[in-house]
């Protein structure tokens, strides 16, 4: 199936998830700069549709990425509080927001890998652990869903996990993520050496 067809299928699956659409609608209303909902909440919505599960099955959080050149903790903390206040329970605890401009400040200390500065949110998405994770969506003002998937959508639709070819190898991190996902979606195929 061609990339444009997979993108249209993804958009349909996103629109079929009431909770994900609620998150997209609320975040759109907050006017964050260069924002997207990314990674698990998106590709796991696809997996749930493909495997006949409830749209919310196994989704632990909704990652809201935005990009603001102000890398101060105070600026990010104000956004985190503003986003949390926009959601009712339980979503107020499930929506996690991070300024991607700040990630290079703490990533190496937390994960042991260097992390070069970024130019925007879409570049941050290229650095996720697996190509299936490297997907983000944004609800535009006109109601259109904009998709970014720098490695395509094939891995997500194939329920396939493999290391991100654009990122330094991290076998332990990859295995940890893959094992957690396979517990929730046993159909997932893991290709460690791909």
**Residue 171 is encoded by which pair of tokens?**
């076998």
pLDDT band at 116; cut points 50, 70, 90: very high
Look at the alpha carbons of 95, 98, 99, 100 in this order and tell me if their dihedral is positive or negative.
negative
Compute the distance between CA of residue 26 and CA of residue 47 in angstroms, rounded to an integer.
24
In the chain, what are the domain boundaries?
3-190
Q: Is the pTM of this model over 0.85?
A: yes
Give residue-wise pLDDT tens across range 117-146: 999 999 999 999 999 999 999 999 999 999
Q: 137 pairs with which residues across the strands? A: 37, 147
């Amino acid at each position: 199936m061609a990339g444009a067809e997979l993108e249209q299928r993804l958009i349909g699956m996103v629109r079929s998830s009431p909770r994900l659409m609620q998150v997209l609608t609320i975040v759109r209303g907050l006017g964050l700069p260069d924002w997207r909902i990314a990674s698990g909440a998106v590709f796991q919505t696809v997996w749930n549709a493909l495997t006949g599960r409830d749209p919310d099955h196994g989704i632990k959080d909704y990652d809201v990425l935005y990009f603001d050149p102000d890398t101060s903790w105070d600026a990010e903390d104000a956004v985190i509080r503003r986003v949390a206040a926009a959601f009712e329970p339980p979503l107020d605890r499930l929506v996690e927001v991070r300024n991607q401009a700040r990630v290079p400040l703490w990533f190496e200390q937390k994960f042991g890998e260097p992390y070069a500065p970024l130019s925007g949110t879409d570049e941050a998405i290229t650095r996720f652990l697996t190509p299936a994770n490297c997907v983000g969506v944004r609800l535009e003002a006109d109601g259109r869903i904009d998709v970014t998937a720098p490695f395509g959508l094939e891995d997500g639709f194939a329920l396939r996990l493999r290391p991100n070819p654009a990122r330094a190898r991290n076998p332990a991190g990859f295995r940890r993520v893959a094992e957690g996902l396979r517990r929730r979606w046993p159909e997932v195929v893991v290709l460690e050496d791909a």
